[in-house]
């Protein structure tokens, strides 16, 4: 199988495409052309690589999580440490790429949406570094859940706009960012933070995150002499997952497993697991799976993780699911939080609650695959931002005093 | 046979004016009251009514229409109500269209919607987030059931895209007057006239201008170069600001009358 690439109009099979107001078509074409040119331009690549290495700290290491592995059926668990990036998550990979592209297009202002605040912080960081104006749209609900990240963005010089429409979470922040973009498109780049939205975003954002998988492939081969048995990652929009999956798509013996946010459980309807519990449709610029009712109205998602609390998912994941090349499963809030605590106490690493969904998945996957398995898991972010949410949860469950 | 839509543009032209096209979401503020509001707008002189299909994520709409859509959905507005409202527009003597974001139509079923809309007397559909390139199934279904397609052009559209949109449209072409979302504005952007002139070079279809149009003076500006004047947020605002339903009915009727007077060439 060839690595999955979209067709000329950005379709991954029946998914993807461009479902946007005509007013944005010119900007999307410009973005696509600039991106394609930049990806072939050695100067651009050199500048991006330099920033990734000297500013963000790439390559990120692989950690052999021997203690945590005891709880995963004895399988060998290798962590790809995206949490060690500058700003605390994988999000910076894409942000640095798009911020450089913004300058290349001669634009001076970036706008971004954020859920957990990780993409917003990364965007504010890149804007500060490269001298761009930055406005971040964030659901009002999320500004409360992630107050620490709001303060970080403000300190970095960004304007944070709380979004008070709809469910006041990530999807509404995307709507507001789109509205801003259509009105200010001449001088503004919409620095979309995940592999969703209209073409070329799913392809471009994936390409900026492919470095996660490219590095991992070399590192795992060097460490173990073979490819991993399986790769696990959490899925909201799906950027960290596609980044680590994509360089392994041709390696058909490597299982790819994405863990969606199951909230209270997919059967309760209160979740954010679009592939496990959604239907195909068009949402925020592309066709994919989404959480919707019988009338095509978006259903509000639910997850303890602000970063996964999104009723859509990137079109390439929908395609990989349809092909059967990747599997998608749901992890409940409880399972994620149990894994969060276990991981803190066995490895001395506080993971992002998003990443804890992948860790909970790995506990199950390890038991299924057995002790000969090597599972590579994308530890997409660190959990400093989640300490208050987690403390509240563990007090309620009695797991912490 | 000329469609009712083209007949309405033809009639307006013969009266030396632009057609007045009103937008109002179905089920706003409730299904029953919403129908009365539309009837008042038609009594005030609207030639064509775009019945909006309320959607949870209206990313092309400003705060006024967002609020209306939210109220309509909270009050249970459904696809069935959209189609029923279309029937009422026809009964009240105006040409009914539907304006909808794409996902509700796709979920309802593209063929099913086209067929049921046509059966209810609906003449055409405006699809603001569907570009012709993604509309292959839509084009087939609307051709089959003789539903007119209205796609949009924007000031940023390059000539090659104007042609794509013109070739795929059958009803009229919706020219977005500005780069932005719906909502009332102080003045109509100068981009509108240029856009209409550019679009005329690639299409013989009527062209109507919308986005930001709310006053008779703005309508009059547009009537000098376009075939239709589209007003949405101003009607919604009149309803939201009215003290009660009776006042809302009076306000929208008066606004329609004033706008209609503005539509003269």
> Quick check: B2 pLDDT over 80?
no
> Quick check: B184 pLDDT over 90?
no
- What distance, in Å, lies between the first and last C-alpha atoms of chain A? 52
What is the side-by-side order of every strand in the sheet holding B173-176? Answer: B148-150, B124-126, B95-99, B48-52, B19-25, B228-231, B207-210, B173-176, B152-153
Structural domain B4-262, CATH architecture: Alpha-Beta Barrel (3.20)
CB contact under 8 A, A175 and B57: yes
CB contact under 8 A, B103 and A182: no
CB contact under 8 A, A292 and B107: yes
Query: What are A289's strand-pairing partners?
Result: A280
State mean pLDDT over B153-169.
97
With beta carbons under 8 A apart, name residues in chain B contacting A172. Answer: 57
State mean pLDDT over B121-141.
97
Longest Cα–Cα distance of chain B, Å, equals 48
pLDDT at B126: 98
CB contact under 8 A, B181 and A298: no
CB contact under 8 A, B129 and A18: no
State mean pLDDT over B13-36.
98
Between A and B, how many residue pairs show a Cβ–Cβ distance under 8 A? 114
pLDDT at A168: 86
- Choose among A26, A294, A295: nearest Cβ to B158: A26
Query: What are B173's strand-pairing partners?
Result: B207
- Choose among A20, A296, A298: nearest Cβ to B129: A20
Query: What are A233's strand-pairing partners?
Result: A258
- Choose among B79, B128, B176: nearest Cβ to A295: B79
Confidence of residue B1 (pLDDT cuts 50, 70, 90): very low
Distance CA B77, CA B52 (A): 11
State mean pLDDT over B69-83.
97
- Choose among A185, A294, A297: nearest Cβ to B73: A297
Confidence of residue A166 (pLDDT cuts 50, 70, 90): confident
- Choose among A26, A184, A281: nearest Cβ to B107: A281
Confidence of residue A226 (pLDDT cuts 50, 70, 90): very high
In order, the DSSP letters of A43-98 are HHHHHHHHHIIIII-PSPPEEE-HHHHTTTTT-EEEEEEGGGSGGGBTHHHHHHHH
pLDDT at A4: 78
Distance CA B157, CA B160 (A): 8
- The pair phi, psi for residue A17, each rounded to 5°, is 90, -165
The length of chain B is: 265
* Class of residue A142 by CB neighbours under 10 A (exposed 0-12, middle 13-18, buried 19+): buried
- Annotated domain spans of chain B: 4-262
Quote the Cα angle for A374-A379-A380, to 5°.
140
CB contact under 8 A, A178 and B158: no
Tokens representing A396 are 């309620």
With beta carbons under 8 A apart, name residues in chain A contacting B128. Answer: 21
Shortest Cα–Cα distance, B209 to chain A (Å): 14
pLDDT in tens, B28-43: 999 999 999 999 999 9
Q: CB within 8 A of A362, min separation 6: which ones?
A: A72, A77, A232, A339, A375, A377
Q: CB within 8 A of A12, min separation 6: which ones?
A: A4, A6, A202, A315, A316, A318, A319
Q: Tell me what the pLDDT averaged over chain A comes to.
A: 96
Candidates B129, B161, B174, B191: best to mutate against A (most CBs of A within 10 A) is B129
CB contact under 8 A, A25 and B155: no
Does residue A146 contact residue A116 with C-beta atoms inside 8 Å? yes
> Quick check: B189 pLDDT over 90?
no
For β-strands A15-16 and A11-12, DSSP reports them as antiparallel
pLDDT at A2: 52
With beta carbons under 8 A apart, name residues in chain A contacting B130. Answer: 19
pLDDT in tens, A9-51: 999 999 999 999 999 999 999 999 999 999 999 999 999 999 9
With beta carbons under 8 A apart, name residues in chain B contacting A184. Answer: 179
Does residue A364 contact residue A219 with C-beta atoms inside 8 Å? no
pLDDT at B42: 98
pLDDT at B89: 98
> Quick check: A169 pLDDT over 90?
no
Quote the Cα angle for B76-B131-A300, to 5°.
35
pLDDT at A1: 44
Q: Tell me what the pLDDT averaged over chain B comes to.
A: 96
CB contact, 8 Å: A178 with chain B? yes
In order, the DSSP letters of A97-113 are HHHHHHHHTT--EEEEE
pLDDT at A123: 98
Distance CA A122, CA A152 (A): 10
Q: How far is CA A326 from CA A215, A231, A250, A257, B156, in A?
A: 20, 10, 12, 6, 39
Q: List B residues 86-115 in contact with A (Cβ-Cβ < 8 A).
A: 102-108
* Class of residue A131 by CB neighbours under 10 A (exposed 0-12, middle 13-18, buried 19+): exposed
CB contact, 8 Å: B191 with chain A? no
| Cβ count near B160 (within 10 Å) | 8
pLDDT in tens, B87-98: 999 999 999 999
Does residue A260 contact residue A273 with C-beta atoms inside 8 Å? yes
CB contact, 8 Å: A161 with chain B? no
Question: Per the omega criterion (within 30 degrees of 0), is the bond before A347 cis?
Answer: no
Tokens representing B223 are 């009537």
pLDDT in tens, A101-145: 999 999 999 999 998 899 999 999 999 999 999 999 999 988 987
């Amino acid at each position: 199988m060839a690595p999955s690439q979209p067709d000329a109009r950005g379709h991954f099979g029946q998914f993807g495409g461009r479902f946007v107001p005509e007013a944005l078509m010119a900007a999307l074409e410009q973005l696509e052309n600039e991106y394609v040119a930049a990806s072939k331009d050695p100067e651009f690549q050199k500048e991006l690589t330099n920033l990734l290495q000297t500013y963000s700290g790439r390559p990120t290491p692989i950690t052999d999580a021997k203690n945590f592995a005891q709880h995963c059926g004895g399988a060998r668990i290798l962590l790809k440490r995206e949490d060690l990036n500058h700003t605390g998550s994988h999000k910076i990979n894409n942000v640095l790429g798009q911020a450089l592209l913004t300058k290349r297009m001669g634009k001076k202002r970036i706008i971004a949406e954020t859920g957990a605040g990780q993409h917003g912080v990364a965007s504010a960081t890149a804007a500060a570094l490269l001298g761009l104006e930055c406005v971040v749209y964030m659901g009002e609900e999320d500004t409360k859940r992630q107050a620490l990240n709001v303060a970080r963005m403000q300190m970095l010089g960004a304007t944070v706009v709380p979004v008070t429409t709809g469910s006041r979470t990530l999807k509404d922040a995307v709507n507001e960012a789109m509205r801003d973009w259509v009105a200010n498109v001449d001088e503004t780049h919409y620095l979309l933070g995940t592999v969703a939205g209209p073409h070329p975003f799913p392809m471009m954002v994936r390409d900026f995150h492919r470095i996660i998988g490219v590095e991992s492939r070399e590192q795992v081969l060097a460490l173990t002499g073979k490819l991993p048995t399986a790769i696990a990652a959490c899925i909201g929009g799906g950027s960290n997952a596609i980044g680590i999956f994509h360089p392994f798509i041709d390696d058909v013996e490597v299982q790819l497993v994405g863990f969606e946010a199951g909230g209270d459980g997919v059967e309760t309807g209160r979740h954010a697991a679009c592939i496990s519990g959604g239907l195909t449709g068009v949402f925020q610029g592309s066709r994919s799976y989404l959480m919707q009712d019988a009338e095509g109205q978006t259903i509000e998602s639910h997850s303890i993780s602000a970063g996964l609390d999104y009723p859509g998912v990137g079109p390439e994941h929908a395609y990989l699911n349809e092909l059967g090349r990747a599997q998608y499963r749901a992890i409940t809030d409880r399972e994620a939080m149990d894994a969060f605590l276990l991981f803190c106490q066995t490895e001395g690493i506080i993971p992002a609650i998003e990443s804890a969904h992948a860790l909970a998945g790995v506990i199950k996957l390890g038991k299924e695959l057995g002790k000969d398995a090597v599972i590579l898991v994308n530890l997409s972010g660190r959990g400093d931002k989640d300490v208050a949410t987690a403390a509240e949860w563990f007090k309620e469950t009695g797991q912490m005093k | 046979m000329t469609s009712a839509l083209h007949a309405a543009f033809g009639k307006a032209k013969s009266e030396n004016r632009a057609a007045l096209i009103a937008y109002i979401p179905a089920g706003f503020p409730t299904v029953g009251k919403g129908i009365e509001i539309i009837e008042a707008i038609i009594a005030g002189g609207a030639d064509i009514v775009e019945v909006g299909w309320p959607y949870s994520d209206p990313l092309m709409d400003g705060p006024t229409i967002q609020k209306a859509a939210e109220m309509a959905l909270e009050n249970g507005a459904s696809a069935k109500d959209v189609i029923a409202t279309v029937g009422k527009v026809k009964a009240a003597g105006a040409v009914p269209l539907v304006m909808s974001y794409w996902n509700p139509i796709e979920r309802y079923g593209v063929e099913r919607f086209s067929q049921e809309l046509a059966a209810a007397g609906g003449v055409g559909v405006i699809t603001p987030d569907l570009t012709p390139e993604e509309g292959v199934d839509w084009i087939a279904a609307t051709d089959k059931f003789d539903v007119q397609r209205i796609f949009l052009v924007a000031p940023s559209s390059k000539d090659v895209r104007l042609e794509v949109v013109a070739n795929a449209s059958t009803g009229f072409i919706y020219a977005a007057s500005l780069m932005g979302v719906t909502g009332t504005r102080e003045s109509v952007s100068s981009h509108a006239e240029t856009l209409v002139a550019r679009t005329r070079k690639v299409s013989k279809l009527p062209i109507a201008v919308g986005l930001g149009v709310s006053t008779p003076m703005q309508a009059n500006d547009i009537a000098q170069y376009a075939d239709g004047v589209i007003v949405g947020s101003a009607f919604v605002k009149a309803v939201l600001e009215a003290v009660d339903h009776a006042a809302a009915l009076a306000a929208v009727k008066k606004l329609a009358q004033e706008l209609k007077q503005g539509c003269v060439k």
